[in-house]
Amino acid sequence: MQSSSATQQNTFADDVLRGLSSDPKFLSSKYFYDDEGSRLFQEIMKLPEYYLTKSEFEIFSGQTKEIYEAFGASSAEFDLIELGAGDGTKTSVLVDYFLKQDIAFTYVPIDISEEALNFLTEKFRTQFPNLLIQTERGDYFRALETFKSKSDKRKIILFLGSNIGNFGKAQAQDFFVSLRAVMNDDDLLFIGFDLQKDPRTILSAYDDSQNVTAAFNMNLLTRINRELGANFILEDFSHYASYHPIDGAARSFLMSRKVQTVSIEALNKTFEFAAWEPIFMEISQKYNLKMIEDLARASGFEVAGNFYDNKNFYTNSLWKPN
Ligand code: AVJ
């Protein structure tokens, strides 16, 4: 326990050092999710501007039967694997329906966070006493490799919530190529993509009127202050969100409001900021159908079907290996 948290801390420190020493400066959004960050993300999902969660939930609840049929889930026992399971709200709609069809499957949530897995397992055990659950903690690919040696059943892998959006295009392709490598030909992959739409709709989702998204970004500075002994003054930074309609990328920045120096004890270093210099915090990539098809093909899959919400804001895309 001691050594694994120490290792994690080193990685965090290393990444902060690398990001703040770069030009332009950046920090990785994967570090947003400490306890407070996870709480703020729950708040974001409830914001009127943050349409993503609502759209995906609409797809899952309105087209449960169609999704079930597209999975070909009735044919044989299978494993329903979820990468980065979160709080399981959308998945519970599927699980509920699947259980009522009287088919044999095991739900396998994979997450890096032990707490997230415990929380989800507790919730699902209460909600679905008959559900078979097998958790796998760790890095997605390693966890999938480990799991592969425990089960030879067909795998249906869920990667929901537009989590893929936090990868740039090249990174997304690398990710799916690695995923393909641990899948068999009859396995399936079900992915949530946020679609390109009115740029104003997208921008408001990342620049909400209650400034929850700003707090979500700022929280990473607080985390660096706490865990690495830094002296970031939050008032001297300002959250700025942008959406670029040509590359389809929403990006978040924390802008240094003035010339300032920040020191980080754990790194034994100081960092200079120019007035209005940005720290690039997060990318949330938006897709169109051609991009999704190209990405599938380039990583060894073909698109078997797409499910949309009523506004065509979002798609859950079903991929099969080719
Ligand atoms: C959890 C990555 C899907 O990019 O929309 C929400 C995170 N960032 N508001 C997203 C997030 C700012 C979210 N994902």
For residue 1, is pLDDT > 90? no
Q: Please give the distance, rounded to the nearest whole angstrom, from the Cα atom of residue 248 to the centre of ligand 1.
A: 15
pLDDT digits (tens, 9 = 90+) for 270-293: 999 999 999 999 999 999 999 999
Please give the Cα distance from 25 to 16 (Å, whole number). Answer: 10
Q: How far is the CA of 53 from the centre of ligand 1 (A)?
A: 10
* Tokens coding 63: 């087209």
Count of residues for the chain?
322
Q: What is the mean pLDDT of the chain?
A: 93
User: Residues near ligand 1 with C-beta < 6 Å?
Assistant: 44, 52, 161-163, 165-166, 206, 213, 216, 282, 284
Average pLDDT of 256-264? Answer: 98
Q: What is d(CA 66, CA 70) in angstroms, rounded to the nearest whole number?
A: 6
How far is Cα 44 from Cα 227, in angstroms, rounded to an integer?
Answer: 24
What is the distance between the alpha carbons of residues 215 and 48, in angstroms, rounded to a whole number? Answer: 17
pLDDT per residue over 42-70, tens digit each?
999 999 999 999 999 999 999 999 999 99
| 319 class by beta-carbon count within 10 Å (0-12 exposed, 13-18 middle, 19+ buried) | buried
310: confidence class by pLDDT, cuts 50, 70, 90: very high
pLDDT digits (tens, 9 = 90+) for 198-211: 999 999 999 999 99
In angstroms, what is the span from residue 149 Cα to ligand 1's centroid?
Answer: 33
For the cut 90, the answer to whether the pLDDT of residue 2 exceeds it is no
Which residue, among 257, 248, 250, 252, has the nearest Cα to 216 in the 3D structure?
252
Taking the CA of residue 2 as centre, how many other CA atoms within 13 Å lie in the half-sphere pointing to its CB? 0
Say how many Å lie between the CA of residue 284 and the centre of ligand 1. Answer: 6
Q: Is the dihedral of CA 256, 260, 264, 268 positive or negative?
A: positive
> What pLDDT is recorded for position 10?
58
Its pTM stands at 0.94
92-150, pLDDT tens digit by residue? 999 999 999 988 999 999 988 888 899 999 999 999 999 999 999 988 888 888 888 88
How much is the pLDDT for 304?
98
CA of 316 to the centre of ligand 1 (A): 16
Q: Whose Cα sits closest to atom 5 in ligand 1?
A: 284
Whole-angstrom Cα distance, residue 263 to residue 243? 31
Count H helices and E strands in the chain, helices first. 11, 14
What's the pLDDT at 233?
A: 98
- Ligand 1: which of 166, 213, 252 to mutate, judged by most atoms within 8 Å of the beta carbon? 166
Residue 221: predicted pLDDT: 98
Q: Which residue among 90, 162, 209, 314 is best mutated to probe the pocket of ligand 1, counting the most ligand atoms within 8 A of its Cβ?
A: 162
Statement: residue 86 has pLDDT above 80: no
Report the nearest-CA residue for atom 14 of ligand 1: 163
Q: Ligand 1: distance of its center to the CA of 274 in Å?
A: 28
Q: What is the tens place of the pLDDT at every residue in 157-169?
A: 999 999 999 999 9
Strand ranges, E, within 60-210: 78-83, 105-111, 132-133, 136-137, 154-159, 188-194
> Which is the closest atom of ligand 1 to the Cα of 284?
4
State what percent of residues in the chain have pLDDT above 70.
97
Residue 149 is predicted with a pLDDT of 82
Cα of 273 vs centre of ligand 1, distance in Å, is 26
